[in-house]
């Protein structure tokens, strides 16, 4: 192992995530990627908006959506954003245990969110017969929300892999940047959700 990546306890960099060149690259790379993701999701949103009334006689958004479930999901995901902020805070203070703890909570919140989302889809399919193939609205809805869900799944796997892999290593200059990029990604997932609950669910329920 090269000496570049270990920490010298007497000379701790202020921000371990960006103190190596590699860390800087990761940080910028992820942000730029999020710029692209912005366009990606906006295209899904745009498609959804263009097709949201094309129900082909099937269930409409008013028939389907309920406030309670979406509210719970929103709170879960928003909170998980905060907990990951806490985790990064502890990372910058080189408090590994606390970081793992808060990331652990983040993962649990994310999992709970995912559980609710699966329940929601299941509910639409079994109780309303509203599927991906029912209508253009159905396709657009499941694609938009499903892509977001897919991002959550990917984020969770990423987080769990990071936590497991580094469980015995503690914070190093190499993995600090990885945790940091993950948290940026996770916030972005939250950003997308804010628009989903507003544009898809809330606007879909306004009559």
Partner 1 sequence: MSIASTQQKGFWAILWDYLTTVDHKKLGNMYIAAGAFFFVLGGIEALVIRIQLAKPENDFISAGLYNEMITMHGTTMIFFAAMPILIGFMNAIMPLQIGARDVAFPFLNSLGFWLFLFGGIMLNLSWFLGGAPDAGWTAYAPLSIQSPGHGMDFYILGLQLSGAGTLMGGINFLVTIVTMRAPGMTYMRMPLFTWTTFVASILILFAFPALTVGLFLLMFDRLFGSAFFDVALGGNSVIWQHLFWIFGHPEVYILILPAFGIFSEIIPVFSRKRLFGYTSMVFATFLIAFLGFMVWAHHMFAVGLGPTANAIFAVGTMAIAVPTGIKIFNWLATLWGGSITINSAMLWSLGFIPSFTIGGMTGVMLGATTADYQYHDTYFVIAHFHYVIVGGVVFGILAGLHYWWPKLFGKVLNEAMGKIAFWFFFIGFHLTFFIQHFLGLMGMPRRYWVFLEGQGLDTGNMISTVGAFLMGIGSLVFIINVVYTTVKGEKAGNDPWGDGRSLEWSISSPPKEYNFKQLPLVRGLDPYWIEKMEGNKKMTPAQPVNDIHMPNGSILPLIMTIGFFIASFGFIYQVDNNLWLIALFGGMAIALGSMLARSLVDDYGYHIHKEDLEKEVD
Partner 2 sequence: MTENTSMSKLNSYQNHKSKEEMKHQVITFALMIIFTLIAFYAVAVDMDKIFVIPLILILAIVQVGFQFYYFMHMKDKGHELVALLIFGGIWVAAVAILTFTTIIWW
Of the pair 83, 134, the CB lying nearest partner 2 is at: 83
Residues 25, 71, 122, 157: which binds partner 2 (CB under 8 A)? 71
**Residue 55, phi then psi, degrees to nearest 5:** -90, -5
Rule CB under 8 A: choose which of 2, 14, 21, 57 binds partner 2. 14
Q: Which residues contact 103 (CB under 8 A, 6 or more apart)?
A: 83, 84, 87, 159, 162, 163, 179
Which one among 19, 60, 69, 78 touches partner 2, defined by CB under 8 A? 78
> How many residues in total does the chain contain?
207
Torsions phi, psi for 132 (to 5 deg)? -55, -30
Helices (H), 52-135: 61-64, 67-92, 96-128
Contact call for residues 48 and 140 (beta carbons, < 8 A): yes
147: contact with partner 2 by CB under 8 A: no
Closest CB to partner 1 among 68 and 164? Answer: 164
Query: Which two tokens mark 94?
Result: 């080189």
| CA–CA dist 102, 140 (Å, integer) | 35
Give the per-residue contact string, 165-204, with partner 2 (x = CB under 8 A; - = no). ---xxxxx-----------x--xx-xx--xx-xxx--xx-
Residue 136 binds to partner 2 (criterion: CB under 8 A): no
61/134 with CB nearer partner 2? 61
Closest CA to 102 of 87, 115, 112: 87
- Rounded distance, CA 61 to CA 205, Å? 7
The token pair at 206 is 């306004």
Judged by beta carbon distances under 5 to 8 A according to partner kind, the member of partner 1, partner 2, none in contact with residue 7 is: partner 2
Tell which one of 4, 25, 32, 63 touches partner 2 (CB under 8 A).
32
Site residue total, partner 2 (CB under 8 A): 62
What residues line the site for partner 2 (CB under 8 A)? 6-7, 9-10, 12, 14, 18, 28, 31-32, 34-39, 41-43, 45-47, 49-50, 67, 70-71, 74-75, 78-79, 81-82, 85-86, 89, 92-97, 168-172, 184, 187-188, 190-191, 194-195, 197-199, 202-203, 205-207
């Amino acid at each position: 192992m090269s000496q570049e990546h270990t920490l010298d306890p007497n000379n701790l960099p202020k921000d371990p995530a960006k103190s190596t060149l590699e860390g800087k690259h990761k940080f910028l790379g992820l942000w730029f990627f999020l710029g692209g993701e912005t366009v990606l999701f906006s295209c899904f949103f745009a498609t959804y908006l263009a097709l949201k009334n094309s129900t082909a006689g099937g269930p409409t958004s008013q028939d389907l959506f309920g406030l309670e479930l979406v509210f719970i999901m929103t709170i879960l995901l928003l909170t998980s954003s905060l907990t990951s902020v806490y985790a990064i805070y502890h990372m910058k203070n080189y408090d590994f245990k606390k970081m793992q703890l808060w990331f652990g909570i983040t993962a649990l919140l994310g999992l709970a969110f995912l559980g609710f989302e699966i329940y929601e889809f299941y509910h639409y399919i079994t109780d309303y017969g509203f599927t991906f193939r029912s209508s253009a609205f159905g396709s657009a809805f499941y694609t938009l929300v499903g892509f977001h869900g897919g991002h959550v799944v990917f984020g969770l796997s990423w987080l769990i892999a990071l936590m497991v892999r580094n469980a015995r290593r503690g914070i190093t200059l190499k993995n600090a940047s990885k945790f940091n990029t993950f948290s940026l990604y996770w916030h972005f997932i939250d950003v997308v959700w804010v628009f989903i609950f507003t544009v898809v669910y809330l606007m879909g329920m306004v009559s």
